[in-house]
Amino acid sequence: MKNKIYFFMVCIGIITSCTKMDNTYKPYLADGERYYPGKPSAIELHSGRNRIEVQFQQSLDPNITKYIIYWNDRADSVIVLPTAGQGIMKTIIPGLKEQSYNFEIVSVDKMGNSSLEVLKSGKAYGTTYESELLTRGVTIGNTLAGLELNFSTPETFNVETEVKYTNALGNISTVKVPSSVGTYTIADNRGKQIELKSAFVPSNGIDMFYSPTAIQTFNAYAGNYQATGVFHHPTNGDRNVNEAKVLARITDEIVQCNLGDLGSSGYLMQLKVNADLTVTITPAGATPDIDQHWGPNYYDPATKSFHLFYSYNISAPRRVEETIKLK
């Protein structure tokens, strides 16, 4: 008797539970079962200049007639029609303010049913972002091979740096140095300044952005040289000059180095290359005076060398003939 009563109680409980379950789902089934088309997948947003490219994988659902991309809380939208083969779709949304955006993408079938939305966030860039970019740093040196540019570590998203310089013909030339390159040599530079701006592409970007242009001046004659020649002493006779010399930058126009082979005694001279390639020599350090009438004193751009004939100590001239050639 007890078993019969227990079985009856269990049946009543099952019926009650089922009734409650029906009541729970009844509001959702009032209009019948809802059908959701296949939704797009593999969503990617590619940032650009006041625009964003939306990329997604089409659904395999053959009934889909269009995809709708919403943004600005669905205040704005664009329709993308499917293509055969259910491949990758790409569409660009232009005219965007420089800010972040939340996109919703749904697919719609021929019965007007919409899929569950797929959400993705992205950002459009513009003049504010561009104004904050930094030009890649560079130090400049002269070598026999040409103007040597030694670049600093590139900033994030830097892809290349554009360099403008004056070539051997006096024209402006442009080279683009990839961010992977640390040292770059310009063989035909003849100017005294370069212009640089670095190009950046944000992560998954479709457009290039540029840092503000930076102008960097330099002394076109500073560098490591080898000096050869003869030192004519009025009483001790001649001796050969053969030593490495560093022509150090004093200004963008003037370099300084040892006079003859007397650098250890503090005898220095400063060299300035004039527009006609003649060289003006000025005493520096312990050097009392310089007489350069022995000349000619000139710079040869073809061999990147100074050809000098000068003297010091007017009362008993010590004459120096030397060629100082860039290494």
Q: Has residue 49 got a pLDDT over 60?
A: yes
Distance CA 237, CA 205 (A): 72
Peptide bond into 296 cis (omega under 30): yes
Q: What integer pLDDT is reported at residue 84 of this predicted model? A: 81
Long-range contacts of 275-278 (CB under 8 A, 24+ apart): 277/301
Q: How much of the chain, in percent, has pLDDT values that exceed 90?
A: 82
Long-range contacts of 175-182 (CB under 8 A, 24+ apart): 177/149, 177/151, 179/136, 179/154, 181/151, 182/150, 182/151
CB contact at 8 A, 146 and 187: yes
| Longest Cα–Cα distance in the chain | 143
For residue 89, the tally of other CB atoms under 10 A from its CB is 18
pLDDT tens readout for residues 212-235: 999 999 998 999 999 999 999 999
pLDDT tens readout for residues 52-107: 999 999 999 999 999 999 999 999 999 999 988 778 999 999 999 999 999 999 99
Alpha helices in 73-118 (DSSP H): none
299 to 61, 110, 172, 220, 278: CA distances (angstroms): 77, 81, 23, 12, 6
What backbone phi and psi angles, to 5 degrees, belong to 140?
A: -115, 135
What's the topology of domain 129-217?
Answer: Immunoglobulin-like (2.60.40)
Average pLDDT over residues 304-316: 96
Distance CA 314, CA 283 (A): 13
H/E stretch holding 4 reads helix 2-25
Q: Has residue 48 got a pLDDT over 70?
A: yes
Q: What 8-state DSSP symbol labels residue 319?
A: E
Look at 19-23, 68-72, 262-266, 291-295 and tell me which has the smallest mean pLDDT.
Answer: 19-23
Q: Has residue 164 got a pLDDT over 90?
A: yes
Record the pTM. 0.75
H/E stretch holding 18 reads helix 2-25
Distance CA 188, CA 274 (A): 19
Tokens of 250: 């004093």
Tokens of 90: 């790409």
The residue among 44, 31, 40 whose CA lies nearest residue 108 is 40
pLDDT tens readout for residues 169-194: 999 999 999 999 999 999 999 889 99
128 to 124, 210, 275: CA distances (angstroms): 11, 11, 42
Binned at pLDDT 50, 70 and 90, residue 34 comes out as: confident
Look at 10-19, 67-76, 250-259, 264-273 and tell me which has the smallest mean pLDDT.
Answer: 10-19
The residue among 53, 59, 54, 46 whose CA lies nearest residue 116 is 59
Q: What integer pLDDT is reported at residue 295 of this predicted model? A: 87
Class of the CATH-defined domain 223-326? mainly beta
Q: Do the domains at 129-217 and 223-326 have one common CATH topology? A: no
The residue among 280, 169, 162 whose CA lies nearest residue 212 is 162
Q: What integer pLDDT is reported at residue 85 of this predicted model? A: 74
Q: Has residue 27 got a pLDDT over 60?
A: no
Residue-range domain boundaries for the chain: 41-124, 129-217, 223-326
Cβ neighbours for 117, distance < 8 A, ≥ 6 positions apart: 39, 70, 104, 105, 106
Class of the CATH-defined domain 41-124? mainly beta
Distance CA 185, CA 59 (A): 52
Q: What integer pLDDT is reported at residue 17 of this predicted model? A: 47
The residue among 149, 148, 144, 189 whose CA lies nearest residue 166 is 189
